[in-house]
Amino acid sequence: MIIAYTSLLEKLAKSIEGNFKLVPIITKKFPDGEKYIRISNNVKNEDVIFLHSMALNPDESIMEYLLIIDALRSMECNTITAIIPYIPYLRQDKRFNLGEPLSAKVISYLISLGINKLVTIDPHLHRFKDLSELFKIPCINLSAIPLLVNYYKRNFDINNSIIIGPDIESEKLVKIAANILSLPYFIFEKQRISDKEVIVEGEIKELSLKGKNAIIIDDIVSTGGTISKITSILLNNGVNRVDVLVSHCLLSEENYKKLKEIGLNELISTDTIPNPFSKVSIAPLISKVIGEINDKRSN
Return d(Cα 233, Cα 230) in angstroms, integer. Answer: 5
72, 40 in Cβ contact below 8 A? no
Q: What is the mean pLDDT of the chain?
A: 90
Which of 190, 229, 279, 288 is catalytic? The answer is 190
Angle between helices 225-236 and 253-262 (to 10 degrees): 10
Q: What pLDDT was estimated at residue 234?
A: 92
- CA distance linking residue 51 with residue 57, whole number of Å: 16
- What is residue 99's three-state secondary structure? coil
Q: What three-state secondary structure class fits 146? A: helix
Active site residue 190: yes
pLDDT above 80: residue 203: no
- Helices within the chain (DSSP H only): 10-15, 58-74, 103-112, 145-155, 171-181, 225-236, 253-262, 283-298
Residue type for 107, please? I
What is the enclosing helix (H) or strand (E) of 278?
strand 278-280
Distance CA 261, CA 21 (A): 48
Put the strands of the sheet holding 2-5 in their side by side order.
35-39, 21-29, 2-5, 47-51, 79-84, 117-121, 139-142
Supply the pLDDT for residue 80.
Answer: 97
Whole-angstrom distance, CA of residue 143 vs CA of residue 282: 9
Among 105-114, 184-193, 215-224, 267-276, the range scoring the smallest mean pLDDT is 184-193
Residues 6+ apart with CB under 8 A from 255: 223, 224
- Domains of the chain (ranges; CATH) run 2-143+282-298 (3.40.50.2020), 145-280 (3.40.50.2020)
Closest-CA residue to 201 (of 172, 175, 166): 166
Ranges 58-67, 105-114, 197-206: which has the least confidence: 197-206
- Please tell me the least confidently modeled range out of 5-19, 82-96, 190-204, 258-272: 190-204
Q: What is the pLDDT of residues 49-98, one digit of tens each?
A: 999 999 889 999 999 999 999 999 999 999 999 999 999 999 888 888 89
Nearest to 241 by CA among 153, 155, 158: 158
Mean pLDDT, range 131-155, rounded to an integer: 96
Q: Any idea what the Cα angle at residue 263 is, between residues 260 and 265, rounded to 5°?
A: 75
pLDDT tops 80 at residue 195: no
**Res 202 pLDDT > 60:** no
Q: Residue 126 and residue 103: Cα distance in Å, rounded?
A: 13
Q: Which of 128, 121, 120 is nearest to 104 (CA)?
A: 128
Which region, left, alpha or beta, applies to residue 238 given φ > 0 means left and ψ of -120 to 50 means alpha? left
Query: Could you read off the pLDDT of 25-44 as tens digits, one per residue?
Result: 999 999 999 999 999 999 99
DSSP letter, residue 124: -
Q: Which residue has the higher pLDDT, 1 or 79?
A: 79
Closest by Cα among 143, 139, 150 to 116 = 139
188 closest CA partner among 176, 174, 73: 174
26 phi, psi to nearest 5 deg: -85, 125
